[in-house]
Amino acid sequence: MVPVEYYIILSAILFSIGVAGVVFRRNPLVIFMSIELMLNAANLAIVAFSSVLNSFSGQIFVFFVIAVAAAEVAVGLALIVEIFKTKHTIDVDQLNSMKG
Amino acid sequence: MHLSETVNSGFFFLAPWLVFAPVIGLLINIIFGGWFMKRSWGERAVGVVASLASGASFVVSVLLAWSLAAGHGEAVIVPFLEWIHIGSLELDWAFRVDSLSTTMMLVVSGVGTLIHIYAIGYMHEDVRFKGDPGRFRRFFVFLNLFIAMMMILVSGDSYLMLFVGWEGVGLCSFLLIGFWYDMDTLGRPSWANSNAAKKAFVTNRVGDFGFLIAAFIMFWAFGSFQFDEVFEAAHSVAPGVIVAITLFMLVGVAGKSAQIPLYVWLPDAMAGPTPVSALIHAATMVTAGVYLITRSAELYTLVPQAQYIVAMTGAITALFAATIAVGQYDIKKVLAYSTISQLGFMVAAVGMGAFVAGMFHLVTHAFFKALLFLSAGSVILGLERGHHHAEHGHHEEHGKGKTKSPKGEKEGKRKEEHHEVFDPGDMRNMGGLRKTMPVTFWLYMIGTLALAGIVPFAGFWSKDEILLDASRHYPAVYILLSIAAFFTAFYMGRQIWMVFFGEPRHEAAAHAEESKPIITAPLMVLAALSLLGGALNLPFEGFHQLGHWLEYTLHEVEALPLDLQVAGISTLLALAAIFLSWLIYGRNPLKTGQPDPLKKPLGFIFTGMENKWFVDEGYFAVIINPFKKLSQFLADVIDWRFWHDWFHDTVIAGTYNWVSNIGLNLYADQKGIDAFANWLGAATQSISATMRKVQNGFVRSYALSVLLGVVLIVGYLILK
């Protein structure tokens, strides 16, 4: 079979790419996509381990993560729409009115 | 019950009343006197209370003497109260009734009572002449206090109680000399009288210091102050100790009994009213020193060296004072120096061991000196009355008198509208008083003859006994005393001629009035005593009453019979002196303003006599002024300038101020603590200014921070 290390390495790479996306991109939609990528990377890691440990609780947990991700995106997109209504831009760098 | 039985059981229990009768008298006058004085009979009441108190003391003295005689003269000690009981130290107040103390008691209270009565009349006039009738009561309070204190002195059973009385009479002397404390003798506002009182007190203090040293040595050597115990222990101790005790006691005697060198207070003490001069400074207080030596006879007889010193002190004082008396113009000053001289006689007598002669002279001197002083008081009052009459026309009416007088126009007495200063005591203002004041004249004559020592007056017998004893044992003393006796007769003669004979030298003398009976009656009693007092101790076989009486106490009494040679020489000297004084003063009586006839022939000697041989000036120059300079130096330079100004203000206050202002305020507080606190605030501000930059509002930078944190934590957990 495919050794579990490959799955973990893939998950790590995906997670890193997701982190890079969150940190380096200015478009919130891309940031959310990157967050999704991070979450999915985590899911991949959980599923891989659950198959190795022959435990279903991991896979059940993945369901929760997916549901939470979806809800979170929904809320986030709604926020972005509102922000756009006021600021007419979705560049996160422009959201700096709470600076000290 | 026979009187003798009562007497045998004795009236000794009455002894405390000697002291407490006058105390009660003075308390009554203090408490009720103010109320009395508001009534018209007030002065009489005050005077009567005081005289009765003194009289009661006299009655008790008589009873005590009677009881003592009935008991064959054995000394009786009447314990009174426990005073100091500390551990094994027991000092009590007990009364000693023996022949010596009863003699003193009788003299003090007897003469004292007569003087109280006299003083009622005298002070009545004097307070009006001086312008302060309200002070009348105070006088009698002080007089009673004096009698009480003197009684404590003579009736004490120990040197301690004697000293209590000694100090007490010194206090009363101060109070009474300074009775007119805000004036001088002429009634002008001045410090003079209070200075005289101060001088008396301070000089007495020097004497008291000597007495105290003697008492301390006594206590250290014998462990007791009580007479019997001291005299018993004295025989078993080194003579040097006794010499020390006796000589220090002599210092005390020199102070109290006005011997050289501490006599200087007595002439100034004439600033007090005349009854004071008579009682305290003639008859009683000044004799306390003579009493002290007589009481300590057992100590003195153990040390002939000390006795010689005492005798010579007395003799030299007698002569010295007599010479000064010749040059005095104030009637009371002559008598004051005469007193010092006669005290010299007494001290010389007791110094020679002739204690009976000394005590005899003490008694007779009390009589005739009191008589002389009181008569002088009568003369002074007479002149005051005359002065008033002359200036104001008639009695009780005070108008503006424009009388020209030899003394010229000067500031007048206070509260009166006089235009000149008139000294009623100055003999140069007197003259011819025998015509205007005959009673006083005869009384004065009796006193003078007694003092001069003319037979058969009292003074002759007592002085003669002293001279007799001196001629036998101490020839130097005999010569000095004989010369002093010559001078005595001379200056008294001078006084008689100047005061009573010739023509009045001042209007006041011309208008002088005789005194009232309340003044002259006590004087007549004293005159009788001066005339008959010699009977106390006639130097013939079977007499010597006083000698026998004192023998009970003194144990060793040399009863010398009359020596016609000595008596003859002394009488001749006295008569020659009186004749000489007549030649100079009596034959050509002085005129107004004429200088003393002795001035030219004696020149600087007379100036010396007139100015009391400059002794006071000497004391001022050698002792008092350097002392004042020293005390001024200590006070001004050392205390104020050095201690206060420099040390306190500059050093201490300056240091404190520097520490607090500069040290603490500037360096510690401002530069130290404030700087630190301010730095904290500034540091916080700068840090926060830096840290604030983290909050830049960039979401991505926040995300980066989160990422970094996660990496760190996970890394730590993995690598741990």
Q: Give B237-271 pLDDT, tens digit per residue.
A: 888 899 999 999 999 999 999 898 899 999 988 88
Fold classification of A4-87 is Helix Hairpins (1.10.287)
The arithmetic mean of pLDDT across residues B305-327, rounded, is: 92
Say whether B699 and A95 touch across the interface (CB within 8 A): yes
Query: Is the CB of residue B699 less than 8 Å away from at least one CB of chain A?
Result: yes
Please tell me the pTM assigned to this model: 0.76
Q: In this predicted structure, what is the pLDDT of residue A100?
A: 64
- Cα of A61 to nearest chain B Cα, Å: 22
pLDDT bracket for residue B420 (50, 70, 90) = low
Query: Is the CB of residue B695 less than 8 Å away from at least one CB of chain A?
Result: yes
Predicted confidence (pLDDT) per residue in B547-594, tens digit: 778 887 777 777 777 788 888 888 898 999 989 888 888 777 777 777
Please say if the pLDDT value at position B34 is more than 80: yes
Burial class (CB in 10 A: 0-12, 13-18, 19+), B516: middle
Question: Is residue B497, in this structure, part of any structural domain at all?
Answer: no
What is the predicted ipTM?
0.86
Residues of B with Cβ-Cβ distance to A19 under 8 angstroms: 707
Say whether A23 and B703 touch across the interface (CB within 8 A): yes
Report the interhelical angle of B99-130 vs B288-295 (nearest 10°). Answer: 170
Question: Is residue B720, in this structure, part of any structural domain at all?
Answer: yes
Strand bridging mode B89-97 / B76-86: antiparallel
pLDDT bracket for residue B541 (50, 70, 90) = low
Of B695, B704, B707, which has the smallest distance from its Cβ to A100's Cβ? Answer: B695
- Pairwise CA distance, residues B592 & B616, whole Å: 29
On whether the CB atoms of residues B257 and B153 are closer than 8 A, the answer is no
Q: In this predicted structure, what is the pLDDT of residue B393?
A: 67
Nearest CA in chain A to B692: A100
Of B695, B697, B704, which has the smallest distance from its Cβ to A23's Cβ? Answer: B704
Say whether A96 and B697 touch across the interface (CB within 8 A): yes
**Number of structural domains chain B divides into:** 1
On whether the CB atoms of residues B321 and B337 are closer than 8 A, the answer is yes
The arithmetic mean of pLDDT across residues B402-425, rounded, is: 50
pLDDT bracket for residue A7 (50, 70, 90) = very high
- Say what percent of chain B tops pLDDT 70: 95
User: Nearest to residue A11, comparing CAs of A42, A37, A53, A32?
Assistant: A42
Query: Is the CB of residue A85 less than 8 Å away from at least one CB of chain B?
Result: no
Question: How many other C-beta atoms lie within 10 A of the C-beta of residue A70?
Answer: 12
Say whether B696 and A95 touch across the interface (CB within 8 A): no
- Cα of A94 to nearest chain B Cα, Å: 8
Structural domain boundaries, residue B707? 666-720
Question: Is residue B703, in this structure, part of any structural domain at all?
Answer: yes
Q: In this predicted structure, what is the pLDDT of residue B86?
A: 86
Q: Which two tokens stand for residue B432?
A: 């011819």
Of A15, A16, A17, A22, which to mutate for an interface test with B (greatest number of B Cβ within 10 Å)? A22
Please say if the pLDDT value at position B3 is more than 60: no
Question: Is residue B704, in this structure, part of any structural domain at all?
Answer: yes
- Say what percent of chain A tops pLDDT 70: 99
Residues of B with Cβ-Cβ distance to A95 under 8 angstroms: 697, 699
Predicted confidence (pLDDT) per residue in B43-102, tens digit: 888 999 999 999 999 999 999 998 888 887 788 888 889 888 888 788 889 999 988 999
Predicted confidence (pLDDT) per residue in B649-694, tens digit: 888 888 888 888 887 777 778 788 888 899 999 999 999 999 888 8
pLDDT bracket for residue B546 (50, 70, 90) = confident
- Pairwise CA distance, residues B312 & B475, whole Å: 11
